[in-house]
Structure formats: C-alpha cells, structure tokens
Structure 1
Amino acid sequence: MLRKFWNYLGESQSYFFRALHIIIAIMILSQIINSNATERESLSELSFVGVVTWFHIISGIALIGLGFIMSAWMLSQRGLRYYFAWTYFDFRALRADFLTLSRLQLPEAQAGGLAASIQGLGVLALLAVALSGGVWFMADLLQLPQANTLIHLHKFLTTFIEAYIYCHGAMGLLHFLLTKVFSRSHA
C-alpha cells in the first residue's frame, strides 16, 4: 500500500518534491503533537519539558527554511499564477473544479484549480505559523514586551495549519482511495 501511495504521488510530483512534502508533513504533525508539552519557562531547564520545548523551537526554525524551499520550488516549477490565480481574479479553474465536484467526480489538478489553490494556501499557512513562532522566539530572547502578543498570534495561526494538514491529508487519502477504486472498477 505504501509503495502504491508513493508511486501515486509520483504521478504529479517529482521525487524531490514528494520527499520534501512528506518531511514537512511529518514535522508539522510532530509540532502539533509536542506543542502541548512546551513551556517557555522551561527553556533554561534540563528536563523533559525543556527538551521538548527546544525540539519544538529547532524543528520550527527548520520548517521556516523548508517552507521557503518548498515555496521556491513550487514557484520555479509552475509560477505564482498556478497556485494563486484567484489573486488575479481568475476563478475559471476553481469554477470548473467545483462543477466537476457537483457531478460527484474528482477534478484533475490544474493551474488555478482547487488542488493548486489549496496547496498554495497551505504553504502560506506553514510560513505564517513558522515565521510567527520564529519572531516570537527572537522577541522572547530579547525580552521585548511584544513577545506575549506574538506567542498568541503564533497559537492563533497554528489553528490554520492544523485544519489544513488534517483536511489536506484526509482529502489526499480519499482522492488516492477513490482513484484506485475507480480505476479498478473500470479496468
């Protein structure tokens, strides 16, 4: 099953992008899981909570870099308009995808379509969460009064990446399963 899934991803993604995509997804899931065991006060402690907090910070900083790498790769391969056609008020592909969905069919990935738009928004959510966490960390180190506001902003933005990763993962798995079931029933 994992091999089929890996090959399925390869139908539309290069090996580099597939690997990057999976690494980022696993790191985000680990961030979500360990976030409840982090405490700002434990940064100077050698304890379980201190180690988890530092792991959260270090992997968050890594996600900033990986988010920019993913963004650069996506934009170099397909361009800004592919993922953000709606910012140009071009809704044709989105309209076509919603019409396809209304017929209970899965739309193909296309420039400006639902899949591309969701992927673009996901990367923006990743960067917003990771950067807000990084800015909070710097503000906390510098003991700036805005640090408290920044940590609340980071936690608020985390809601969007959590919703994205759960929905995106579920939709990806559903698409994979429906595509394989549909292709088997017509083979």
Structure 2
Amino acid sequence: MTNRNLTALILRIAGIYLFTKIFDHFGSYFLSVYGTVMMTRLEESLSEPIDKFYFNGTFLTIINIVISVFLFIKAEWISKKLVKSESEIKTELNPKSLTKVILLTVGVIWLSQIIYFLPDFIEYCISLISKFNGNEETELPDFALIRYILKLIMTLIILFRIEKISNWIIKKI
C-alpha cells in the first residue's frame, strides 16, 4: 500500500463517517421540523426567524451530503493533490513504526471527527455572526468551539509532524 492509497482510504472513511451524520439529523431535525410545518394550525404562527432556522438546517444537511459524496467519490483525486510523491508503506514492527501507526491512527480518527462536526461548526459560526450583527434573538447552539479548534490544531500537528513527534517519543523511551 502506498501513502497515496492510504490517503484516499482515509478520505473515503471520512466521507462515510460524515454521511452517517445525516441519519443523526433525520430523526431529530426533519421529522420534527417538517412535521410541525405540515400542521395547518401552526402554519400561521411561523415567523421569519423560524423560517431562517429551517432553511439553515436544511442547507447544512444538503452541504453535508454534498461534501460526504465528494470525499467518497473524489478521494483518489484529492489524495493526488495532497500527496505529491508516492512511496510504498513499509510495515516493519519496531518502536518507531509502531509509534507512527499509533499517531497516524489518532490523527485519522480526529480528522474524521473534525470533518464529521464541520456542519455543526458552520452552524455555530452562522449563529455567532448573526448574533454579532445585532440579532439578539439568536441563540448559539451547543457546540464546543474551543475543543473543535484545539483538536483541529492537534490533528494538523500530528499529521504533518509525525516524523518529528515519533522521533521525540523514541528518544524519551
């Protein structure tokens, strides 16, 4: 297996992981929102902020589907853009390679979680911008922004500095 193939595999897994988020939204969002809208008694009471909420949720779900399908279908193309030189992955069992495998696994899982929570991050940013623009009625969704940003930074550090981190860990052993 080459590093380019591994990158394509990671992107496909992230696409599938992101696609499963749709099923989380389906029960809680679509059935409650559109079930409520279909009731004729409540149709007159809908106001513009609620309509914006319905539109934002629908828009984020559609973007979620598009990104997950794009990651799954175009994984080879993205991996060619990300990984310039293709080299064979060697699987020797020594402390350094084991450390790299562990770090890579953590990096891949965190990267999948970052992509998985991307729609929630976008929704939080939309609400935050709306609140800063003077819409006092906007409530911020329950989203751990600092944890998301720290996990993103740590993932990028792990994935791009895996060689230096594994060398540092080996020196400490």
Q: TM-score, normalized by length of structure 2?
A: 0.36
**Greater relative CO (CA pairs within 8 A, separation 6+):** 2
For the pair shown, the structure with the greater C-alpha radius of gyration is 2
